[in-house]
Structure 1
Amino acid sequence: MKKHAPMALAAILLASCTVGPDYAGPPDLAGTSAPQPEFVRRSEGVSLEQPTLASWWTALGDPVLTRLEQLALADNPGLEAARARVEQARASVRQERANRYPTAGAQATSIQANLPGLDLGSGPSQPGQPQQDEDETSLSFYNLGLNANWEIDLAGGQRRKIEAANALAAAAVENAADAQVQLTAEVAQTYANLRERQLRVTALEGQRALQERTLQLAAQRYERGTIPLFALGQANNELQAILADLAAAEADAAVYLDALAVLTGQAPGALDAYLAAPAAIPLPPESVAVGDPASLIRRRPDIRAAERNLAAATARIGVAEAARFPKISFMGILGIGGTSPDDILDLGNISAIAIPQLQWGLLDFGRTAAGIDQAEAARDEAEAQYEEIVLRALQDAEASLARFAQQRRTVAALAQIAQSATRAAELDRQRYEAGVISLGDLNASERQKLAAEARLNAALAALSGSYIAIQKSLGLGWGNPTEGVQ
């Protein structure tokens, strides 16, 4: 053992070295790739204040939506799968850390051998001596002990593996956070769509009732011969068109109900009773906080995951470069035993073996160099992917801000149209009561009012959708995932 001490000491000193590049953080985006100091498409009503990271949907002021978000964050299967991947990655880190240490195991050995021609007791037979007995050519050996193996991390390859595993575990955490961002946005968007479809169903049912009255009047007038058959057919066609739109709206509402049920981890139809009654579309606040592009880059989980993947790819270069250096391992055996089973109980029969081993691949025909080139190319790919994800995130934010500004203008215009249609319907009712216009004319005016309200509701749902898209593009909704769940 003393002879191997200098070798072990030298190996330990060499093991303090770690090959491969040290990760210096994400690349700085320069030139055309650098983000602007503030969002280019920011409009009136969008502030530079930092947004709230978690529970952004509470700003919509809808307690039903808040409850649905809580249920989804607690029970969504996709989110549970993402959290399970986090646990897998953390277990991988623990496994790589454990690989730094020796492995030890217990062993019990029993050897029974018959070796003719070999005198295990007194040596080979001499000429003229009697033939050996079977007992003298048989071997029995019993051993009970421990064995241990340890490979010294001479070039730091194992440390680089641990570094890469840690980075991948962090990336898994960020991917789980990104799954929360995607989930909360999808729940809110689906809920807004459901409320818009329910309001559309209500409006279409009102239009159907009015058109049915109009059709009855047309039938009466046709029977009296005051209108042609074409006019009666036209009134019936308008009714059928309304019925077709009503069927489509009812089907859409059912689809959104089932989608919300699945998003919250329940079977389709489970939320029908809870969400059956129509309600107003949740609307965004007057002022929307978005921060700046730099804070978006720091916050968005997909960007953070890409940065951690880049760190892992950088560490793998060191793993590949460590293959250039020799490997030193030690195997040790310690046990007790002898030629009879009773010997394993005799502590005086102790045997110890230490076997150091040096391996160095001096000729591999370029395999190691190719592995290093592959690792460096993978690092370059991860860096390019990081930059692409950053640029896509900035594009998403700018696009959602542009759509939000456009939808606000659309809502303002359609609100004026709906207000004008409401006033016109009120005036026509007064004119009908005064006998100036017919009931058919009043029904037509009421239908225009309902149609204008339906278009406004669709615009309001689109406005809420653009607000939700802003929150999603900013990477919000992944803090305190189950807070408030009952």
Structure 2
Amino acid sequence: MRALSAIAPLALLSACTVGPDYKAPPATASVATARGNFVRAQDAAFTPAPGLARWWESLGDPTLDGLVQDALAHSPDIDVAQARIRQAMAQLSARKADRMPSVSANGAYLHAEAPSLGGSGGSDSSLEFYNLGLNASWEVDLFGGSRRQLEQSRATLGARQADLADVQVSLSAQVAQAYVNLRDVQARVALNARSIALQEQALGLTRQRFERGAASALDIERLQAQLDNTRAQAQPLAADVDAYLDQLALLTGREPGALDAQLATAAPIPLPPAQVAIGDPASLVAHRPDIRAAERSLAASTAAIGVSEAKRLPRLNFLGLLGLGGTSPGDVFDVDKLTALGAPMLTWSFLDFGRGAAGVRQSEAERDQAEAQYRKAVLAALQDAETSLSRFGKARLQVASLARAEQSAGRSATLNNQRVTAGTSSLIDQLDIERQRLTAAIALSQGTAALTNSYVAVQKSLGLGWSEEPASARAETAQQ
């Protein structure tokens, strides 16, 4: 009891917690957040309303919706991120358990033979001992090292949850871009086939004219080279179709070829909505998952400083023993044979030649690194958003120009067809104009795909594509 009274003042120190308290991340990009808008969001399509979590639904393509949902449910990347969350939750549970007493049971039987003390004529003596007992140990958290470990584990769990959200953002964008590229290539495969057919027809007519002496061999060679070049484009386009089909299969957790039948039929490229909600820089910093992950990593590294500092200070452990036993088996059931022992133990590695101080400095450097990584994540996210917004606005202008060019080519084909009917233009000229019209259509398809992909890039840069956990799920996680 006197020993416990001497240790009691030290136990009162368990209310202390060494190390810095984490409050908030450093203020970064304060000019952008105070301004309240993105500087590159000059296009009339942008609105300051908060963006949609399920932004792909705004493209109005049910097939794409299904692919994104399949990817979010079955992608190996999602499984990896969820496994890391479970690891962090298990670590958090272990940290909580470390703060509780540890109790173990034991049983022992001892048999010893000893020679007689009376010399060679005496008989040997033997000893048997039986024991059943409980051992207990508990480390008092004098300086808050265990509390800092628990704080560190909670922050690490938050970082892993943000990593999962970041995977969801990237995955939904990758699926959408692969799908858009697939539809673009499929459209260009069809347009290329039509262009080949027109050029073959033009080459045939030119050969007929050559036989009549109305065309030169140079005309034939020129058209033949043009046809060969167009044919040469068909095989890479077909390979691109296969590549995008396999990419979509991988993203949705399937084997190559699994989506061939489902996506073999060409479909129009989905178009962005007329109005695009982009929020503001402050909401981007608050909700983009990679920024949240960096912020939680900063909180974890801040708590790690307290863990390192606590290792330099005294540690107080309480050891306890309860046992029943004696020289006969029945003694383990006799309460009169009860043995009880309690032993507080204070340890302090005060002479470590600077190892403890070096550990603290290392933790502080890691905290500084995490803080720099957080600032970098914020600035990189803003740069990503501004670049994506600028490219989307420019892509809209480009598509408008390409659409006008394709419409002009169509009108030219219609007008020249009237001249062919009137006998003032040849069919070969009409075929060449139709080929130019197809060339304009191919450029428009590529421009449309670039526009939709730039829209996808905007959503990714804003950190959209994930949703908050339900309140019940968050509460369950906090109790882990």
Partner of 1:185: 173
Partner of 1:366: 354
Contact 1:143 / 1:338 at 8 angstroms: preserved in 2?
A: yes
Counterpart mapping for 1:24-173 below 5 A: 24-29=23-28, 36-116=35-115, 125=118, 131-134=121-124, 136=125, 138-173=126-161
CA distance change for structure 1 residues 67 and 420 in 2, over 3 Å: closer, same or farther?
same
Counterpart mapping for 1:25-424 below 5 A: 25-29=24-28, 36-116=35-115, 125=118, 131-134=121-124, 136=125, 138-424=126-412
CA distance change for structure 1 residues 33 and 408 in 2, over 3 Å: closer, same or farther?
closer
Contact 2:33 / 2:280 at 8 angstroms: preserved in 1?
A: no
Counterpart CA distance in 2 for 1:298 and 1:33 is: 13
Counterpart CA distance in 1 for 2:130 and 2:30 is: 74
| Identical amino acids, percent of aligned pairs | 49
Counterpart CA distance in 1 for 2:29 and 2:224 is: 65
Contact 1:48 / 1:292 at 8 angstroms: preserved in 2?
A: no
Counterpart CA distance in 1 for 2:94 and 2:215 is: 87
Contact 2:4 / 2:344 at 8 angstroms: preserved in 1?
A: no
Counterpart CA distance in 1 for 2:52 and 2:261 is: 32
**Cα shift at 1:163:** 0.2
CA distance change for structure 1 residues 130 and 243 in 2, over 3 Å: closer, same or farther?
closer
**Cα shift at 1:67:** 1.0
SS at match of 2:214: coil
Amino acid at match of 2:368: D
**Cα shift at 1:346:** 2.6
Deviations for 1:102-141, whole angstroms, at most 9, x for unmatched residues? 1111111122223446xxxxxx54xxx874421x2x3221
Counterpart CA distance in 1 for 2:185 and 2:438 is: 14
Deviations for 1:201-230, whole angstroms, at most 9, x for unmatched residues? 110010011011112112222333433333
Deviates more, 1:167-176 or 1:31-40: 31-40
Deviations for 1:330-365, whole angstroms, at most 9, x for unmatched residues? 111111111233322333221112222110111111
Deviations for 1:303-333, whole angstroms, at most 9, x for unmatched residues? 0110000000000000011122110111111
How high is the TM-score relative to the length of structure 1? 0.93
Partner of 1:449: 437
**Cα shift at 1:36:** 4.1
**Cα shift at 1:438:** 1.7
Counterpart CA distance in 2 for 1:90 and 1:344 is: 41
Amino acid at match of 1:243: R
Counterpart mapping for 1:464-479 below 5 A: 464-479=452-467
Deviations for 1:418-461, whole angstroms, at most 9, x for unmatched residues? 01000001112222222222221111111111110110111111
Partner of 1:121: none
Deviations for 1:9-52, whole angstroms, at most 9, x for unmatched residues? 33431111100010011011267787743101011224343333
Partner of 1:6: 5
Deviates more, 1:413-422 or 1:227-236: 227-236
Contiguous gaps of at least 5 residues in structure 2: 471-480
Amino acid at match of 2:339: S
Counterpart CA distance in 2 for 1:142 and 1:231 is: 110
**Cα shift at 1:155:** 0.6
Deviates more, 1:11-20 or 1:411-420: 11-20
Contact 2:140 / 2:315 at 8 angstroms: preserved in 1?
A: yes
**Cα shift at 1:157:** 0.3
Partner of 1:437: 425
Amino acid at match of 1:363: L
Contiguous gaps of at least 5 residues in structure 1: 118-123
Contact 1:53 / 1:478 at 8 angstroms: preserved in 2?
A: no
Contact 1:164 / 1:313 at 8 angstroms: preserved in 2?
A: yes
Partner of 1:19: 18
Counterpart CA distance in 2 for 1:53 and 1:301 is: 15
Counterpart CA distance in 2 for 1:30 and 1:101 is: 43
Contact 2:115 / 2:123 at 8 angstroms: preserved in 1?
A: no
SS at match of 2:317: strand
Contact 2:32 / 2:38 at 8 angstroms: preserved in 1?
A: no
RMSD: 1.9
**Cα shift at 1:300:** 0.1
Counterpart CA distance in 2 for 1:408 and 1:113 is: 93
SS at match of 1:351: strand
Counterpart CA distance in 1 for 2:29 and 2:411 is: 57
Partner of 1:120: none
Contact 1:18 / 1:157 at 8 angstroms: preserved in 2?
A: yes
Amino acid at match of 1:339: T
Counterpart CA distance in 1 for 2:226 and 2:259 is: 34
Deviations for 1:56-98, whole angstroms, at most 9, x for unmatched residues? 1111111111111111111111111101111110111010011
Counterpart CA distance in 1 for 2:394 and 2:29 is: 31
Amino acid at match of 1:27: P
Deviations for 1:260-314, whole angstroms, at most 9, x for unmatched residues? 1111111111111111111111111111111110110001000011000000000
Deviates more, 1:31-40 or 1:182-191: 31-40
CA distance change for structure 1 residues 130 and 450 in 2, over 3 Å: closer, same or farther?
closer
Contact 2:314 / 2:347 at 8 angstroms: preserved in 1?
A: yes
Contact 1:73 / 1:481 at 8 angstroms: preserved in 2?
A: no
Counterpart CA distance in 1 for 2:423 and 2:47 is: 58
**Cα shift at 1:386:** 0.2
**Cα shift at 1:480:** 6.7
How high is the TM-score relative to the length of structure 2? 0.94
Q: Which runs of 4+ in 1 moved over 6 A?
A: 30-35
Counterpart CA distance in 2 for 1:131 and 1:152 is: 57
How many pairs were matched up?
470
